[in-house]
Chains A and B, each alone.
Chain A
Amino acid sequence: GAGVSQSPSNKVTEKGKDVELRCDPISGHTALYWYRQSLGQGLEFLIYFQGNSAPDKSGLPSDRFSAERTGGSVSTLTIQRTQQEDSAVYLCASSLADGGRGTQYFGPGTRLLVL
């Protein structure tokens, strides 16, 4: 079945370059989340979209990070002027509803390495 998909699966970039990560949520899911997971760590919440509401950006670590969700479906996470500490696995999840009422389904993640 069609789950959450993310692209690219792996990305190696040089310090200072911009990167774009893409997430295709499960069709019909109104909530979309971006998380970051550094090696051996738990998930770090980045940003949350729910329907047409303004996104919750409280988890974005700096103004180099931004995300948008077009048409309530596909989302793009952009990291500008990448730094080595941005290296992590970036995970996207979607759910039918917000809060704790919907099971979150995660994509396979994008593994980002900043040299």
Chain B
Amino acid sequence: SQQGEEDPQALSIQEGENATMNCSYKTSINNLQWYRQNSGRGLVHLILIRSNEREKHSGRLRVTLDTSKKSSSLLITASRAADTASYFCATDIELIFGTGTRLQVFP
């Protein structure tokens, strides 16, 4: 079974807007990671949040984690066309990635 389930499956926004995507998982975890994948390339690690953390920031990225709901969200602020990619979450328990959220940012 997949640990990381992202939604929405696709998201289209204008440059400058914020983008929020969500991830749900099934079992208890030690950490959760978000990754980005540009078309035709491998996954790039963005940010890792530990189970005892509720929120973490990295540049324009903000990640939250709610272990009671087994969910996480990734917020990209002031989006840019270069943010166009697929975004995935994964947990440390089982490295199986879902189909991700495909983000399209229009200039």
Contact = CB atoms under 8 A, between A and B. Distances in A.
21 contacts: A35-B43, A41-B48, A42-B33, A45-B44, A45-B45, A47-B42, A48-B41, A48-B42, A56-B40, A56-B42, A59-B42, A93-B97, A98-B40, A99-B39, A100-B85, A100-B99, A103-B2, A103-B96, A103-B98, A104-B96, A104-B97
Given A43-B33, A43-B35, A99-B37, A35 B96 contact: no
Interface string A55-71: 01011000000000000
B45 A100 contact: no
A9 B41 CA distance: 26
Contacts of B44: 45
A56 B41 CA distance: 7
Contact of A103 (B41, B48, B99): B99
A35 B33 CA distance: 15
A50 interface: yes
A33 B100 CA distance: 17
A46 interface: yes
Interface string A29-50: 0000101000001111111101
Given A42-B48, A91-B95, A106-B96, A100 B37 contact: yes
Contact of B102 (A33, A45, A100): A100
Interface of A: 33, 35, 41-48, 50, 56, 58-59, 91, 93, 98-106
Contacts of A93: 95, 97
B92 to A, nearest CB: 10
Task: Give the interface size class of chain B.
Answer: 20 to 34
A48 B43 CA distance: 10
B65 to A, nearest CB: 15
Contacts of B43: 33, 35, 43, 45, 104
